[in-house]
């Protein structure tokens, strides 16, 4: 039923000419650009957390030199395509990127030789690794936005999701990070965990506030459909939480953080003050380097092979490690942009009507329906989602959008070079 509804909606908005499928591709077709964002994927982890769906492998020191050389070669290949363009932001994810701190220094040096780095450097950090040396390295390489995968400040929750950190170490680690005065420190917190009460949730939220955290990203455990990501399926007895639980906890988070001086900046995210927003997903165009990284360019979406071995092999022979490509029509590009503005919970009217005609019947109908169900309201120069609207967008992500991601990733994790994936 979900697939039927989704197919109808896709065809209605983007037209019959739109093809929602990834095809085999081993090259990047590009158009001239002046600036772009950059994502770097480091797949290595000391401990493979069972709840994490991202492309990762067990850390082995002997594999690092070849992976570093592969990353540097992929940078070279993109430089050959685009020249000395501006990089508006760099986001490093994983895996556990800080396992390769010395190598990241080499990568930054190489990037600065090939491109013009003009924006923030952002990185994901494991809370267990926050020590004086790590903080010193982050500062040395001018990384200024840091995100920490805390998930919970309660041992029972950490144990349930397979985290190796102990709750007693988290608060001191975060305070140390905050005292280092980065531009922003974001933490991830889970909600709607089995058995999690409002009291538990309050403890997690208040602990984050007390630590001086200025951004908090909250999300439910079941962001990805674990029933089909078999490689990571270790929580077999866990089921999707009831809608009422998700609803009550989501509203509670929103109200609690609002009362503590935070503003909602996305479906999942809240921040305090004028600190720059930490977000890994809302950049309009970006190049992704590393095993399993994706690139969103003006003509569509590219995906690198998930196999670390094949990624290294391709890059060392100076071949692009891309494995899949989905072509975007202009209409698909416009709706892709609109999807992420709904995720932001704010749709600027000026940009909206540059991409869509002001009299576009589909857009007018979409806005009208959203308003009538109290999902959206008119706020001068932009449309803004209500708390109710933000909640339903988060459900749409779980039941529709992430079903596609799950299918692509599940196949890409099994096959280094899939021939075709129809969504």
* Tens digits of residue pLDDT in 98-142: 999 999 999 999 999 999 999 899 999 999 999 999 999 999 999
Tell me, yes or no, whether 100 and 224 share the same domain: yes
Q: Which of 71, 35, 19, 112 is nearest to 304 (CA)?
A: 71
Q: Is the pLDDT of residue 1 over 70?
A: no
Report, as an integer, the average pLDDT of 386-397: 89
CATH number at residue 384: 1.10.10
Q: What is the pLDDT of residue 160?
A: 84
Residue 5 placed within a domain: no
Tell me, yes or no, whether 215 and 359 share the same domain: no
Tell me, yes or no, whether 142 and 268 share the same domain: yes
Where is pLDDT greater, at 233 or 394? 394
DSSP codes, 339-379: HHHHHHTEEEHHHHHHHS-TT-HHHHHHHHHHHHTTSEEEE
Tell me, yes or no, whether 100 and 169 share the same domain: yes
Residue 20 placed within a domain: no
Q: How far apart are CA 233 and CA 52, in angstroms?
A: 10
* Tens digits of residue pLDDT in 208-219: 999 999 999 998
Q: How far apart are CA 243 and CA 257, in angstroms?
A: 21
Q: Which of 190, 189, 184, 180 is nearest to 208 (CA)?
A: 189
CATH number at residue 219: 3.20.20.70
Q: How far apart are CA 415 and CA 302, in angstroms?
A: 16
* Helix and strand totals (H; E) in the chain: 14, 20
Q: How far apart are CA 360 and CA 92, in angstroms?
A: 39
* Tens digits of residue pLDDT in 284-294: 789 999 999 99
Place of tokens 């400040």: 153
Tell me, yes or no, whether 107 and 212 share the same domain: yes
Residue 402 placed within a domain: yes
Q: Which of 244, 272, 300 is the last residue of a domain?
A: 272
Q: Which of 272, 300, 315 is the last residue of a domain?
A: 272
pTM of the complete model: 0.93
**Of the listed ranges 2-6, 73-77, 402-406, the one predicted with least confidence:** 2-6
Tell me, yes or no, whether 216 and 341 share the same domain: no
Number of structural domains in the chain: 2
Q: How far apart are CA 376 and CA 16, in angstroms?
A: 28
Tell me what the pLDDT averaged over the chain comes to. Answer: 89
Answer for the pair 55, 43: CB distance below 8 angstroms, yes or no.
yes
Residue 365 placed within a domain: yes
Q: Which domain holds residue 332?
A: 326-422
Tell me, yes or no, whether 341 and 209 share the same domain: no
Report, as an integer, the average pLDDT of 179-184: 95
Place of tokens 């969504």: 423
Sign of CA dihedral 137, 138, 143, 144: negative
Q: What is the pLDDT of residue 224?
A: 53
* Tens digits of residue pLDDT in 306-329: 999 999 999 999 999 999 999 999
Please state, as a whole number, how many other Cβ atoms lie within 10 Å of the Cβ of residue 351: 13
* Tens digits of residue pLDDT in 15-59: 766 778 999 998 887 778 899 999 999 999 998 877 777 889 999
Tell me, yes or no, whether 332 and 416 share the same domain: yes
Tell me, yes or no, whether 92 and 241 share the same domain: yes
Tell me, yes or no, whether 360 and 263 share the same domain: no
Q: Which of 272, 291, 308 is the last residue of a domain?
A: 272
Q: Is the pLDDT of residue 8 over 80?
A: no
Tell me, yes or no, whether 365 and 240 share the same domain: no
Tell me, yes or no, whether 241 and 353 share the same domain: no
Residue 12 placed within a domain: no
Residue 359 placed within a domain: yes
Answer for the pair 115, 84: CB distance below 8 angstroms, yes or no.
yes
Q: What is the pLDDT of residue 223?
A: 52
Residue 204 placed within a domain: yes
Residue 394 placed within a domain: yes
Q: Is the pLDDT of residue 276 over 90?
A: no
| Strands 376-379, 346-348: pairing kind | unpaired
Q: What is the pLDDT of residue 281?
A: 63
């Amino acid at each position: 039923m979900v697939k039927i509804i989704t197919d109808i909606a896709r065809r209605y908005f983007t037209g019959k000419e739109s093809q929602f499928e990834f095809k085999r591709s081993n090259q990047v077709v590009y158009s001239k650009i002046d600036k772009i964002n950059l994502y770097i994927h480091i797949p290595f982890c000391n401990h493979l957390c069972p709840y994490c769906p991202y492309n990762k492998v067990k850390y082995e020191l002997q594999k690092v030199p070849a992976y570093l050389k592969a990353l540097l070669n992929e940078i070279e290949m993109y430089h050959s395509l685009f020249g000395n363009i501006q990089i508006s932001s760099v986001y490093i994810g994983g895996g556990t990127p800080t396992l390769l701190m010395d190598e990241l220094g080499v990568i930054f040096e190489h990037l600065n030789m090939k491109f013009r780095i003009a924006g923030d450097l952002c990185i994901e950090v494991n809370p267990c690794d926050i020590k004086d040396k790590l903080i010193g390295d982050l500062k040395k390489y001018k990384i200024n936005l840091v995100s920490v995968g805390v998930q919970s400040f309660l041992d029972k929750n950490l144990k349930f999701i397979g985290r190796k950190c102990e709750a007693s170490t988290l608060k001191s680690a975060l305070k140390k990070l905050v005292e280092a005065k980065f531009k922003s420190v974001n933490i991830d917190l889970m909600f709607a965990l089995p058995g999690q009460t409002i009291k538990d949730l309050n403890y997690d939220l208040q602990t984050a506030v007390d630590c001086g955290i200025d951004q908090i990203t909250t999300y439910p455990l079941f962001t990805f459909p674990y029933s089909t990501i078999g490689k990571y399926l270790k929580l077999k007895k866990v089921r999707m939480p009831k809608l009422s639980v998700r609803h009550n906890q989501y509203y509670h988070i929103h109200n609690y953080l609002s009362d503590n001086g935070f503003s909602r900046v996305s479906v999942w995210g809240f921040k305090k003050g004028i600190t720059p927003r930490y977000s890994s997903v809302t950049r309009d165009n970006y190049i992704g380097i590393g095993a399993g990284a994706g690139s969103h360019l003006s003509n569509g979406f590219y995906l690198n092979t998930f196999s670390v071995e094949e990624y290294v092999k391709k890059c060392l022979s100076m071949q692009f490690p891309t494995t899949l490509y989905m072509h975007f029509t202009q209409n698909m590009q416009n709706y892709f942009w609109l999807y992420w503005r709904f995720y932001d919970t704010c749709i600027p009217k000026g940009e909206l009507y540059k991409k869509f005609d002001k009299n576009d019947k589909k857009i007018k109908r979409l806005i009208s329906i959203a308003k009538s169900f109290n999902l959206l309201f008119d706020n001068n120069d932009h449309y803004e989602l209500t708390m109710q609207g933000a909640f339903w967008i988060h459900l749409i992500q779980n039941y529709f959008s992430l079903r596609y991601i799950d299918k692509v990733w599940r196949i890409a994790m099994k096959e280094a070079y899939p021939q075709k994936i129809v969504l």
